[in-house]
Amino acid sequence: MSVGHALLGLLESGPRHGYDLKRSYDERFGHGRSLHYGQVYSTLARLLRNGFVDVESEPGDGPDRKRYAITSAGVTDLANWLTQPEKPEPYLQSILYTKVVLALLTGRSADELLDIQRGEHLRLMRELTQRKAEGDLADQLICDHALFHLEADLRWLELTTARLGQLATQVGR
């Protein structure tokens, strides 16, 4: 995800302080991967440098407080980003496939590797299913996306397990 574009989208509703942006980002998109304050402020500095946000200082007794506002160039950049489709990732360089081949090449148990991986996928799927059941609509949609990918991985694990003999023969050549 583009953190910069997410911050621009959050700013489109009105100017905000950096800590407000971080909190909003974490609530809407963080889901286990919250932003560090340093990342928020370095991203805002880049957006400022690119002309996508303006900053205004607020007078006060304490440290300088800055509010960030999206510029018309920022609105245009956000609109362009939102209309661009994301490139589907075909996963042609799969770490799991590499591990299976290396297990076969080194005489280790590829079956055991696949079983352990299947167990880890199922564990995560149970965790996501519970989170989905307890969450709001955003959690449900995010969990569904992850669950569908995990289901595809499980199908691959089953198919690979069924073809291990053939793969071992090819790898052994």
pLDDT digits (tens, 9 = 90+) for 115-136: 999 999 999 999 999 999 999 9
For the residues 59-77, what does the mean pLDDT come to?
A: 84
- pLDDT for 27 equals 87
Per-residue pLDDT at 60 exceeds 70 = no
Q: CATH assignment of 3-83, given 1.10.3720.10, 3.30.950.10, 3.30.565.10, 1.10.10.10?
A: 1.10.10.10
| The two structure tokens encoding residue 10 | 């959050």
CA count, 13 A, side-chain hemisphere, 150 = 19
pLDDT exceeds cutoff 80 at 42: yes
Q: Which of 54, 53, 57 is nearest to 6 (CA)?
A: 53
Residue 57 has pLDDT above 90, yes or no: no
Where exactly are the structural domains of the chain? 3-83, 95-172
How do strand 16-17 and strand 53-58 relate by DSSP bridges?
Answer: unpaired
Count the neighbouring beta carbons within 10 Å of the beta carbon of residue 1.
Answer: 9
Backbone angles phi, psi at 23, to 5 degrees: -60, -45
The mean pLDDT of the chain is 90
In whole angstroms, give the CA distance from residue 119 to residue 32. 21
For range 12-29, the mean pLDDT: 92
What does the buried/exposed string (b/e) look like for 118-150 if buried means 16 or more CB atoms within 10 Å of the residue's CB?
A: eeebeeebeebeebbeeeeeeeeebbeebeeeb
Q: How many angstroms separate the CA atoms of 23 and 111, rounded?
A: 44
Q: What is the reported pLDDT for 125? A: 97
Q: Which of 6-15, 21-30, 87-96, 101-110 has the highest mean pLDDT?
A: 6-15
Confirm if 25 and 40 have CB atoms less than 8 A apart.
yes
Indicate the SS3 state at residue 70: strand
Give the lowest-confidence range in 1-15, 85-99, 139-153, 157-171.
Answer: 85-99
Check residues 18 and 92 and name the one with the higher pLDDT: 18
The average pLDDT across 12-24 equals 94
Identity (one letter) of the amino acid at 73? Answer: A
Is 1's pLDDT higher than 80? no
- HSE value, Cβ hemisphere, 13 Å, CA-based, for 117: 21
